[in-house]
Structure 1
Amino acid sequence: MTVRRTLFGRPLRGVAFDVAVAGVVVLFSLTAAVNQPGGWASTGVGAGMAVALLFRRTHPSAVTVVVAALALVQVIARWGPLPYDVAVLIALYSVVKYGKRLRDGVLAGAVAAVGVLLAAVQTPGVGAWWATALWYALVTGAVWLVALNVRTRRLYVLSLEERATTLEREREAESRAAVAEERTRIARELHDVVAHSMAVMIVQADGARFMFDRDPEQARTAVKVVAETGRAALEEMRRLVGVLRDAGPSAGSVVAADPEHRRLALAELPDLLARFRDAGLRIHDAATGAPPTLPPGLELTVYRVVQEALTNALKHAGVGAAVDVTLTHTADAVVVRVVDDGRGRPAVSPAPPGGHGLLGMRERVAVYDGSLTAGAQPTGGWQVEVRLPLPSEPATEVIAA
């Protein structure tokens, strides 16, 4: 991180440079007291110009007015051009470069043109006055044009910085909107899971009520299912509340945006892989370990992770890319790994920018306290790996016939 030192609210380096410039003008004015017309009075005029130049960046127009007024005093006193008159050129440069309006710089240029004529008339020499005026005009015009070029470049850089800041704000707003939309989608799907669990509890509770006298054993089994399903539903509800807590007011506007409003489970993974195979991906899938009974919300997360990873592979790796989909079940977690070789046929048109696939996956995985790793492979292609910890007491769903 770069630390910028300031003095009186201005960059320290700029203040030091302006002090050095003013010091040079003061030095020139001191020489006027010894061997130039005006003596110490002329030195006072030069010192006044030097003090004014200290504010040339913050108040360029006012500084130009002060320097021009002091130069007029010099002309009226008929001291002729003196070395400290370089302050006039510095003030002209400053008002063109730092002035809020270019009109001030143009007006200062016109005043400087009049000053060139007056200075040429009072300059002692053997040549014609118009030749001296031409020389002064060339120097003054060059300073004005250089200042205009620097001003144009400075404004261009400022516009680029402002545009970059605006784009950064827009990207942050898009990311926040994508997060809110994905959270709403997750919340809607978890809502379906909770609603399904509640339906199971109602059916089992009704069955237990009628079976208490006829078959107590079956009634106890039904009550056990109600308890297990209730605990699972309560856990899903806790996650649902956690998702909605930061969803923001924009969530309600996207509730009905997705027509796909149904529960998805691991049993539908083969159909999902088949659709992507039909789309042109060469998918090799494998599953290791004994698959435990997963909560419906966790199954949905696994399904969506695979779906999003395959979508990204089709979009970026291209048709014909080889993709390995591995589902690993361990004692305490489910690990999903999707790796493509990146060697498919390039798309006819490039993928549209601004996607939020990884952002959405990260939000889903975070709901279940999981971890996501995504990145390019050294040999080419892309890898997505998600680890989802299993709940301590997985729920068992039993739906009464």
Structure 2
Amino acid sequence: MRIEGFIQKMKEQFPWLLPGHEREELAALPLVTAGKLESHYYTDTNPLLHEPMNRYLTSGTSSKRRKTIFYSESDEEDYLRIKRDVFRTILAGASYRTAMADMGTGHAEATAVEVFRELGMEVESVSFRLPIEEHIERLQSFRPEVLYTMPSILDRIMQASEHPGTYGIQHVILVGEIASPGWRQRTAERLGIAETQVTDTYGSIEIGTIAYFSHDHGRYLFAEGILAEGIQPELLDADLEPLPDVLEQVLVLTSTVRESFPALRYVTYDVVRDLKVIDVDGVPTQSFKSIVKRVGPDLKHGEKISIYDIEDVVYRHLREASVRVQVSGNALTVHVYSALATPAVLNSIREDVENHIPAIGMMIKAKLLDGIQVIGGTFEDSQNRTSVKNKKIFYT
């Protein structure tokens, strides 16, 4: 759909979206922020509540309500088609016959099972809430060639596995969390596959599949129907500070294939690096280098601390490790779970985090952080399966 037609369609579907805006140039339209969605979309008066829609609940808003995201029949069809096309591109050239979705329940998991079947594969699904021993039993018995999962879940599997390469996994498709280059490389090594066989995808329940990592280009390429913009956080909220890296921007998305969500300059609050157009087989294509963090007024130091960068430092020093980052007041603690994390290695990690991640070094000099602790420990799976996403900043 042409952008002009899509803008008009959004005006009709969501009258509150563009009041008084007659111009239809995309860059001239207002941003769809979290506050605007809370006031108009995540409400008990949303007219979509009375229409035959699929509904998906996700984490709460700042008003503590759970968010309901609506999908029309057309939205569902487009979601499945685009996801199938992305998976087909990722797995091109291989004749895989078995796949496992190990990520719990929900829209991404349910649609993945359907997509794998449409690609002619036998597929099984595992809930992330099961004890890790059951995940491993299923991997050993089913031996999926393709594993669709989240980095935190794969961390749990590898922490509990002496030889994860024996499960027969040939390609990993990731979703749901940031996967740094160092993490992807170490994961591939432990599974005994090439780094190009670990592929990250990026999506959200609001938009659907957004992008996937192209190993040929070393960048994330956007999926069909996505138009991307980058803005500075201070344009969203005067209380948000500028990003320290000139290549970093907050990602704003328009999806011309979305019908029941106002996906018109929707603010993701995700920070990407090096958003630009590149040539892909002669076609100008929007892309970015990496997703590094999120911003928001409720994230405290979160707009400056990047899990992506911290993990990348850890994996320069350790081949096998799981990482958790905790902020308490002005104290930043990096928990490193690895049998190889000797005091000397932990000290080297601390020095690298302080000295080689500019944003953290600046925060220490400005007394916004008191310093960094890097602590070794033993990974306890029972403490990590209650939350599916662990690659984030934990505030205490």
Higher relative contact order (CA 8 A, sep 6+): 2
- Range into which the TM-score falls when normalised by the shorter chain: under 0.3
The answer to which structure has the higher strand fraction is 2
Say which one has the larger Rg. Answer: 1
TM-score in terms of structure 1 length: 0.21
The answer to which structure has the higher helix fraction is 1
TM-score in terms of structure 2 length: 0.21
